[in-house]
Structure 1
Amino acid sequence: MAKELTGRKVAAIFFGFFGLVFGANLIMMTFAAKTYDGVQEEDAYRKGRDYNDILAQARQQHDLGWQVAFDHEQLGSALEQKVTARFADKQGNPLDGLTVSALFFSQVEADHDERIGLAGLGDGRYEGVARLPRAGRWELRLFADGAGAENYFLRKNIFIKP
């Protein structure tokens, strides 16, 4: 004894199915809006479009063969950080006369980025001091430009304890 499929049953199945889909989408949209972590990327479209240029710059940097060591250390307070860097060429000879800067990049707050210049101390060593607005996770970026139009870029993720 099969039950008869009426127009009402078909309508109930139809609206029930799409009601379930709509409800699931509503839950996912609400969850996505409440869990947004605030990470921002400036001009993501342009960066994606220029990706091949970034790869070419990385190859040029690799071909320079520079040996670079850089780090940071806490001074008086946790928010006062000294950045040191040492540059050497392929043969290990110190590279002096570079224009070197460091950027403490905040991945969640655009207003808190802190850029400093590093002074040359001779023997390929450079040093600078930054006063950060807050503790937490940062990306430390190092930039160097040489007289022969060489460009160097290096970065590392760091955590400043409060």
Structure 2
Amino acid sequence: MAKPLTGRKVLLIAVSAFGVIIAVNLVMAWNAVSSFPGLEVQNSYVASQVFDKNRAAQEALGWVVEPEYSDGKLSLVIRDKSGLPAKVASLKAVVGRTTHMREDMSPTFDYVGGIFVTPLDLAPGAWLIHLDAKAADGTQFSQRIDLFVKG
């Protein structure tokens, strides 16, 4: 014969169910906070004041960036709106994972035959390139580029 369902059993079931829900929420919140890579800008209001002007200048360049990774080398081909190699005065990049900063690298690129090349050991998976370049006329060019390395 089955034992009767008492108020004490119902209370234990309810407390256990909500305890599991609260524990899962705490674990998920901790993981979200611990994997947050940080802010893009210190003051978003100040950044918004010049955003449209900077975007228009960058779009006027007409640059297209094509990343490629093979044989331990990361290559960036930057072309202008005519399809020719862009006139890049300076180039900096940070290569890292999309979800954390532990594997971030700031490689030095060599300019070889119209292509920016650097030796880099990237494990398979999703990577993100934060590219900051300056055109010969001084126009800033910033772009986030997704790169997937096949394994």
Shorter-chain TM-score: what band? 0.5 to 0.7
- TM-superposed deviation, 1:28: 1.9
- TM-superposed deviation, 1:85: 2.9
- TM-superposed deviation, 1:132: 2.8
Asked if 1 retains the 8 angstrom alpha-carbon contact of 2:126 and 2:147, the reply is yes
Q: Does 1:157 align with 2:146?
A: yes
Normalising by structure 2, report the TM-score.
Answer: 0.65
| Separation in 1, partners of 2:142, 2:33 | 26
Residue matched to 2:89: 98
Change (3 A) 1:26 1:130: farther
SS of equivalent residue, structure 2 residue 98: coil
- TM-superposed deviation, 1:66: 1.3
> Amino acid of the residue matched to residue 138 of structure 1?
W
Moved over 3 A (4+): 22-25, 34-39, 53-58, 91-95, 117-122, 146-149
Q: Does 1:74 align with 2:69?
A: yes
Change (3 A) 1:143 1:48: closer
| Structure with max Cα Rg | 1
SS of equivalent residue, structure 2 residue 108: strand
Q: Does 1:115 align with 2:115?
A: no
| Separation in 1, partners of 2:86, 2:131 | 15
Pairwise CA RMSD? 3.7
> Amino acid of the residue matched to residue 88 of structure 1?
D
Alignment of 1:1-162 (within 5 A): 20=14, 22-32=15-25, 33=27, 36=31, 40-44=35-39, 47=40, 50-64=43-57, 65-76=60-71, 80-88=72-80, 95-120=86-111, 125-146=114-135, 149-162=138-151
Gaps of 5+ in 1: 1-11
Asked if 1 retains the 8 angstrom alpha-carbon contact of 2:87 and 2:136, the reply is no
